[in-house]
Structure formats: structure tokens, C-alpha cells
Structure 1
Amino acid sequence: MSKNLPARPRAVLVGVQFPSVSDTEHAADLAELRRLVHTLGYDAVATVTQRRSGLASGTVLGTGKLKDLAALTGGPGVITSGARNQTSKARAKWEAEEEDAPDAEASGAEEGDAEEEEAEPPEEPSDVEAATAGPRPTVVVVDHELSPSQLRNLEKATGALVMDRTGVIVDIFHRHARSHEARMQVEIARLNYLAPRLRESSGGSERQQGRGAGDSAVELDRRKIRDRLAELREGLAAIEREQDHRRYARRDQLRVALVGYTNAGKSSLMRALTGSEVLVADQLFATLDTTVRALHPETRPRVLVSDTVGFIQKLPHDLVASFRSTLDEALEASLLLYVVDASDPTWDAQLEVTRSVLREIGADAVPSRLLLNKVDRLDDAAREALRARHPDAILLSAHRPEDVAALRRSILQFFEASMVEADLVIPYANQGRIGEVYEHTTVLSQEYDESGSRLRVRGLPGAIARLTQAFQA
């Protein structure tokens, strides 16, 4: 039956390795890009990389590597134009500089791209064979954020659809957004990304008639985008106000937020800790909506657990800004659990990405614990090395009930350490509100006298202070 499934579009990955980036880091970046591309629905069948001190201003790659890329996609390998074939002095100088751009790490760099190709590891013959074994790749994905002109130039040179890393991530968010709020957040980021990349059509020089006469089609489209962005931001602000009210109502409750890199296992832990049917999928950015559930079995006082959107390297700033209300769950939490996929060789870098994003919103001051997840995929020696390196971390697998139970005990111990005991007197006239006491504290004993119910409770100082004030009023 699988033979009847439509073939997935084929893609070529493009990366530029800067002098400050090691081979291991560069390989990890490309491996992550491959997973992003696969999540978007493409098969990455080839990779074209080049060592350079920076991206070529016009086409990202030097002329030699650009021709290699075009050979895979069937493009001309040069920037073609439908305009008259005229070359200004400035363009001629730019083309000469691009052709002579040195390879940052190859020996004999001043000899141009021919020397660069000889200096790089012989990985590409197998890539070429893979790319030419079936239909030609129709998509080129670059592991950097590109300017509109770079996108256009690469499309002309390769004859393929060109996407940059930011565009891939924004499209994945667009496909995975489920709630009304998430869709609005993603649309804001998507429109901010698309606005500067709008292009004139072949008839783009024609002016629109009627209302707006004098503006080109692109200018009118950009105006529509600005109007839509204003509408979305207004709607999102209203949703954020509602969320602020809900967070304020939960201010005295114990709150835990799961934070971490995308696909680190946060949703699996959420399901194991709360018994909720949250989406669990082995793909990047499967969760974009914040889910809040009570720790199960329920405790008194209740502990709320939040599952937040995952992070990734080079996460577009517009997405971070759009999901600010979602990230506020981490800012408002009493305890952050940093979830790390310990089986991933790059988990150190992934953890730093998570911490960096949370520092941006000021959540680094929230108490936290490090969870090294997926340790069932490691051997004994690797687990012992992790314990020696991070003695305070919790090693676990979300699929082992005994590990989840130990994590639950650790969470409760954290909150119990900050709890205090106090006496509450609830007048008989307020007996209908006694449920609030049981919801926000642990009732140790209860007695009755002429003034009402006398309860010995244990809970957070803030919750007890609020309850005391409420029953004295």
C-alpha cells in the first residue's frame, strides 16, 4: 500500500560554515535542519556546504558551489533575468568579488572556488548520486536567514523553490497551530516574515485603478498586511488580558512549567505526570499551545503543571515575541523543570538555547530543576557520567512509571520545603467558603467552637495570608 502513497518533495540542504563554528556544531546544525525539513514534509536528499567567512551577499555561496547546487536542481547556475542584458559597473564589480570570495578555511583560498571544493571532505559524490537517483529536487533549504534579494537570486540560479531556516520554522508553526490564540500568534510572525519578501509580478509596474491609484500591487499588499497585523495584535491583546486574569486567579496555586528544546519529551512527561491526553509525537514543534493540568493523583493543595512551546536554535525573534504570552507561563511558575533529551549528543547546546530564551523574558530567576530525560536510551556508563557531571539533576525516562513517581515526589518535596503551618478561624457565616481552604492548603486538623471552625493548615505563606485576610473581612 505504501507504493500508492504520493512521493514527498525532494530537497537540497545548503549550509555555510563560518570559522567560529566547529565541524561538530556545523554537522549538528545541518542534522537539525534535516529534521525540520522532514517535519515540513520534504525529503532531504543532498547537502551542499561551504566554508566561508560570511554569506555571499548575492547568492550565499560562491560561484563554484552555486553551480554544484544548480547541477542538483537543474538550474542554470547563474543569475538570469528577464530584463535587458546590461551589466552596470557596480554589478560587474559585485560579480567579480563573489567569484573571488575566499574560502575561510581552505588552503590556497585565493585560487577561488575550485580550490575550496578540493579542500572540503568528499561527502558530495554520494549526495549527488542520491539526488540524481530519482526526480530532481525542487526545493532548496538554506540553514541561515536570507534577505529577499538572496532568495530571489538563488531561485533564479537553481530553478527551485528556495526557503531559509526562518521560513521553514514559521511554516511548521503555521501547520501545527491548533488553538485560536496559537494561530493568531503564528500568523503575526508569518506576516512579519512575508511582508519584506513580497515581489512584483511580471506586470508589477502597472498601477492599480480606482481606490489606491498610484500604488503598485505590492504596495497595496503590504498595506493589507499592516492592517491585518494591527487587527491580529488587537485580538491577541484581548486574549492575553483574559489569560492574565486566569493566571491571577491561579496566583496562590503551586505551578510547575515544563520547558526545554523541541522534541525533548515535555509532552510525554506532561501526560505521565497529569494523566492528560496531550499530543505526543516524535516531531519538532508538535506542541504550540500551552496546556495546564493538575498533577495526578491530585494533591492538596493542588499542583498545576504547564506544558510550553519548545525552543530551537535560531528561533525567529518574531516567533519569540508572538509567543510571549505562552512563555509567560514559565515566568509565572513557582518551579521550572528544564527537560533535556540526554540521548541527543548536542543536549548541552540545546539546554543553553532554552536558558537563553528564558533569560530574555526574565524567567531565569525562577527556581528550577534539570531533568535529563530519555536515559533509557543510554548505557550504564553514559548514565554514570551524567550523574557525575550533574549530581543535582534528575535522570529519568517519561516511559518508566517508577521514574515519573520519583519526579512527582521531588516536585512535592520542593513545595513542602517552603510551606508553613498556621491556624485559621472560619466563622459559621462563611462555612460555604471552606472549600477554598481545602483547595489551597493541606488541612491538618479541624475543631469547632462558638466562633466557628478552627483549622490547622499547612500551605504556602502567600495563600495562607490571603485566606486569613479573606475570613477576617
Structure 2
Amino acid sequence: DISPSQARNLERATGAQVLDRAGVIIEIFHRHARSREAKLEVEIARLNYVAPRMRETGGGGDRQRGGIGGKGAGESALELDRRKIRDRIAELKHELASVQREQSTRRALRQGQRRVALVGYTNAGKSSLMRALTGSEVLVADKLFATLDTTVRALHPEVRPRILVSDTVGFIKKLPHDLVASFRSTLDEALEASLLLYVADASDPTFRDQLGVTRGVLSEIGASEVPSRLLLNKVDRLSEEERDALRLEFPEATLLSAKIPADVAGLRESIIAFFEESMVEAELLLPYAKQSLIGEIYENARVVSEEYGDEGGRLSVRAH
């Protein structure tokens, strides 16, 4: 990272815009934000980044402007511009709070449902796995932070009760502080999941460090106690010798490639098996007068058998 004064000196020397590491990351986030929540979060981070780097342009730093409506009388142009940024940040935060309340309501409606969250370093292949597991057309791109918004889809082919899969924002080492704070809300899916799938790009020589970053961030938000599985993705890029070495080093991990259907099918079955462990069997007698409940039963439980007699329907179900 470089200081604002160093950036200005470099800009004068080169005649080009100069961004430090934080600025580059914020710019990438800005280009990829799609939802209203992500756009608001990125804009707040961008303004917080810009404000301390502003300087007087032309006419010297003692330029004064009169106040508007009795406020800010005698403040310099720079002070006025910074005040406008502070006011704009306050407006954005107010709007963001409203959007996040709506998001919390939607998450509350999903409470009690079986949920899996894909987490990992940026560009580890989470979105490719998401599309393979759910059959959804989520954005897949070989670039940093292609996914900034949390996407939730049902495991496909569907099982009963449904299993929801979420794809979260990718992590990066030394994420700018403002982005850590603002994007924490997008990681709520990880906190509320029943199972975390840590996705790592096994073909990247630095994936061990990246995995440490992922675990560190999740520990910070209190998600380290959520049951998890390690997925070493993109093994199609490795030799058999390299795969064998990874199996010895990470015996608990699942080696796979999102591009290989058999690997994805195996992962799907392991996800289902995880939830099967906590399901219990029950026998239900559903009188004919209560047949309107049959749809709700099928939605929230797995019906193993169903027979009808004089008293109504006898259902053998597995449920949580």
C-alpha cells in the first residue's frame, strides 16, 4: 500500500491515475456489484476511501465558500466537498439499513430449512460448483470477485425436505477494512448454514494460505463452530501424483472438479447423507378431514410410504 501523498506524486510523475491495493480491490468490487445491497456497500467503501485522499485543485488550499442555509460559513472548498461526502455516506448507510432489514426478513423465512453455504477464497470455483449442484445459471467467470452477492438456490435434483445452497462473496488476504465491515452482512449465510463447504483451488500453489484466510474470516464472524467439509476443487488440473500427495496431506478432504459430473454427483450425495444423519422416522395418521395438510408434509418431510384405510392416510416419514 502507498500513502495518498505518494499516490499524488506518482500521478504527477506519470500522468496516469494511481491506485493502491485497497483502491484496486474497491474498483473491482464496484464493477461487479449487481444487487442494491452490494452497490450500496461498495459505494460507502469507495467514499470512505476517497475522502481522506481529496485535495484542493487550483487556487490554493485557502479558497473559501460561504455557507448554505447558515451552515458551513467560511469553510474551504475541500472542507465543503468532504462534508458532502460525509452527508452522502450517512444517506447511503440509512438506505443500506433498510435493505438489510428486508434481507433479514427473507432469511428469517428460510429458518428451519436445511442450508449449505459455499465459502472460500476468491476465484476458487465456488460459483462453478454452485451451478453444478443446483442447475442454476449463476455467473461463472475466471476473475476476482465475480460474485459479490449471496445467491441461494435449491439442490438439484430436488430432495424433500429441500436443501438450499448459497454461494457467498470470495475472500482475499488483507481485505480493506471498510469492505470487511460492509460485506460482513453477505456472510450471514455462513453463520446461519447447517453445513459449510470450504472450497479451495487445489491447482493454486498458495491455496493453503488462502484456506487460512477463509478460516480466519469465518472465525471472526463466529462461524468456526458450524460443521464443515473441505473441498479441494480443480483437481482436473493436477497430475495423479499431485492428487495422491493431497490425499495424504488432507485425508479428510474431498478431491473433485466442478467440471466432472461424477464428482458433483458424489458431492451431492455426501450433502444429502450429512442431513440424513439428523433425520428421524415417524408414523403419521392423517384423517381425511386433514388431507389439506398433505402438501405441507411432502414439502417438509420425506414420505417413505403412504397407505389409506378407513381412518385416513398412514404415512411413514423421515424428518428433522
Q: How does the TM-score come out when normalised to structure 2?
A: 0.93
User: Could you say if the C-alpha distance between residues 453 and 360 of structure 1 is closer, same or farther in structure 2, counting changes exceeding 3 Å?
Assistant: same
Match 1:195 to one of 26, 29, 51: 51
**1:338 aligned residue:** 198
1:148 is displaced (CA, Å) by: 2.4
Q: What is the DSSP-based 3-state SS (H/G/I as helix, E as strand, rest coil) of the residue aligned with 1:281? A: coil
Q: What is the DSSP-based 3-state SS (H/G/I as helix, E as strand, rest coil) of the residue aligned with 1:363? A: coil
Match 1:206 to one of 60, 63, 86: 63
Matching of residues 25-424 of structure 1 within 5 Å: 144=1, 146-156=2-12, 159-203=15-59, 204-211=61-68, 212-424=72-284
Gapped regions of structure 2 (runs ≥ 5) = none
Report the Cα distance in structure 2 between the residues aligned to 1:427 and 1:184, rounded to whole angstroms: 52
1:331 is displaced (CA, Å) by: 0.7
Report the Cα distance in structure 1 between the residues aligned to 2:41 and 2:76, rounded to whole angstroms: 28
Q: What is the DSSP-based 3-state SS (H/G/I as helix, E as strand, rest coil) of the residue aligned with 1:370? A: strand
Report the Cα distance in structure 2 between the residues aligned to 1:433 and 1:231, rounded to whole angstroms: 46
Gapped regions of structure 1 (runs ≥ 5) = 1-143, 461-473
User: Could you say if the C-alpha distance between residues 218 and 407 of structure 1 is closer, same or farther in structure 2, counting changes exceeding 3 Å?
Assistant: same
Report the Cα distance in structure 2 between the residues aligned to 1:218 and 1:447, rounded to whole angstroms: 78
After superposition, what is the alpha-carbon deviation per residue over 1:76-128, rounded to whole angstroms, capped at 9, x for unaligned? xxxxxxxxxxxxxxxxxxxxxxxxxxxxxxxxxxxxxxxxxxxxxxxxxxxxx
The answer to whether the 8 Å contact 1:252/1:440 transfers is no
Matching of residues 389-468 of structure 1 within 5 Å: 389-426=249-286, 428-447=288-307, 453-460=313-320
Q: What is the DSSP-based 3-state SS (H/G/I as helix, E as strand, rest coil) of the residue aligned with 2:65? A: coil
1:158 is displaced (CA, Å) by: 5.0
The answer to whether the 8 Å contact 2:67/2:75 transfers is no
User: Could you say if the C-alpha distance between residues 320 and 451 of structure 1 is closer, same or farther in structure 2, counting changes exceeding 3 Å?
Assistant: farther
The one-letter code of the counterpart of 1:249 is L
The answer to whether the 8 Å contact 1:330/1:363 transfers is yes
Report the Cα distance in structure 1 between the residues aligned to 2:13 and 2:196, rounded to whole angstroms: 48
Report the Cα distance in structure 1 between the residues aligned to 2:149 and 2:93, rounded to whole angstroms: 18
The one-letter code of the counterpart of 1:333 is A
User: Could you say if the C-alpha distance between residues 303 and 157 of structure 1 is closer, same or farther in structure 2, counting changes exceeding 3 Å?
Assistant: same
Higher relative contact order (CA 8 A, sep 6+): 2
Report the Cα distance in structure 1 between the residues aligned to 2:267 and 2:208, rounded to whole angstroms: 21
Q: What is the DSSP-based 3-state SS (H/G/I as helix, E as strand, rest coil) of the residue aligned with 2:75? A: coil
Report the Cα distance in structure 1 between the residues aligned to 2:274 and 2:158, rounded to whole angstroms: 16
Identity %: 72
- RMSD (Å), alpha carbons: 1.8
1:185 is displaced (CA, Å) by: 1.1
After superposition, what is the alpha-carbon deviation per residue over 1:345-376, rounded to whole angstroms, capped at 9, x for unaligned? 00000000111111111111111000000000
After superposition, what is the alpha-carbon deviation per residue over 1:150-206, rounded to whole angstroms, capped at 9, x for unaligned? 333443455543211000000000011111111011111111111111111122421
Number of residue pairs the alignment of both structures matches: 316
After superposition, what is the alpha-carbon deviation per residue over 1:394-431, rounded to whole angstroms, capped at 9, x for unaligned? 00000000100011011111111111122345555543
Q: What is the DSSP-based 3-state SS (H/G/I as helix, E as strand, rest coil) of the residue aligned with 2:230? A: strand
1:292 is displaced (CA, Å) by: 0.6
1:296 is displaced (CA, Å) by: 0.6
1:333 is displaced (CA, Å) by: 0.6
Report the Cα distance in structure 2 between the residues aligned to 1:447 and 1:216, rounded to whole angstroms: 82
The answer to whether the 8 Å contact 1:427/1:453 transfers is yes
Report the Cα distance in structure 1 between the residues aligned to 2:286 and 2:9, rounded to whole angstroms: 74
User: Could you say if the C-alpha distance between residues 445 and 282 of structure 1 is closer, same or farther in structure 2, counting changes exceeding 3 Å?
Assistant: same
The one-letter code of the counterpart of 1:163 is L
